[in-house]
Structure 1
């Protein structure tokens, strides 16, 4: 309280002022810093886990779209094959040389078109396979980021237990779980 330049401090005010101007000490201070570091890393790892999960879904979607386009190309290839077969059948039935020349020309055109379509379909299938591989890689990374996040969350929970029980060995368990989480995060970062 303050009045006429007279200021009285209560015991609580003194402790708050002391805590504001001094570093926390002992087990509680160490656990506060450890928890803050683990929570910060956990937030980053969680973000990366979500990003890789989203990428895996997008890549799988791209694989499906590309696979569908490849199937469409193969259907088109089959249609050209059917037309070529009909032209070959007509060639066998035709007597006129003029008509035979026309059908031979169609057969050659269909063969050329089929080869182009086949190349496109095979290229799309390869792209689809590549998108599938990328999706699988992202899903693996997602799992690694999720494992890292979980280990850090366990470390944070152990820090709370250590603070409540005031057991130093629980602080070491906190550090151990944090180290495992950080190791898993590094493995995810390195794509292991």
Structure 2
């Protein structure tokens, strides 16, 4: 019987090592980049959600502000109509015979009372509209910083991808810096 004895050459050992461990650490680098990119993608998803949410909340409050402003406008139109009627009652009471002036005076008094109530409602609607506008501005305030944060996170992901493709480990530094700036901007948006 012949014993088979095989000696591996140096190049075969190197090929086998590269296949299982990666050449020059390429598998390790690829794994690091993949994990880094996955973490950035998760952070980016949260930042993107927060950015969209700021827009939605702001738009909702802007819509409410417009609605209250429309109600206020309706009340001011109603107030103007009552003012016009009151002016007509004033003229009518001045031009009417003495026996009819009392009725016009009562109508004038009623219109003046109604005007005060209508004015109070109109001013309340305007105050609510201002409040909703302030809320809209408050909710929209972090949007710009979140959009900028998302941009930096996307740049970091792109640089990490280029790192994996080109095997240029030094590209992880600008990718990491972009990720830090992006995450910092996302936190700063709410301070």
Q: TM-score range by the shorter chain?
A: 0.7 to 0.9
Of 33-42 and 160-169, the range deviating more from structure 2:
160-169
Q: Deviations over 1:130-184 (max 9, x none)?
A: 2222223333322222221111111100101112222232111111000111011
Aligned to 2:70: 68
Aligned to 2:5: none
Aligned to 1:184: 185
Of 164-173 and 147-156, the range deviating more from structure 2:
164-173
TM (norm. structure 1) is 0.80
Q: Which has the larger radius of gyration?
A: 2
Q: Does 1:100 align with 2:101?
A: yes
How many residues are matched? 171
Q: Matches of 2:119 and 2:75 in 1, distance apart?
A: 7
TM (norm. structure 2) is 0.80
Which 5+ residue runs of structure 1 have no aligned equivalent? 1-10
Of 60-69 and 140-149, the range deviating more from structure 2:
140-149
* Superposition pairs of residues 55-134 of structure 1, within 5 angstroms: 55-97=57-99, 99-134=100-135
Q: Matches of 1:141 and 1:103 in 2, distance apart?
A: 58
Among 31, 40, 43, which residue is 2:42 paired with? 40
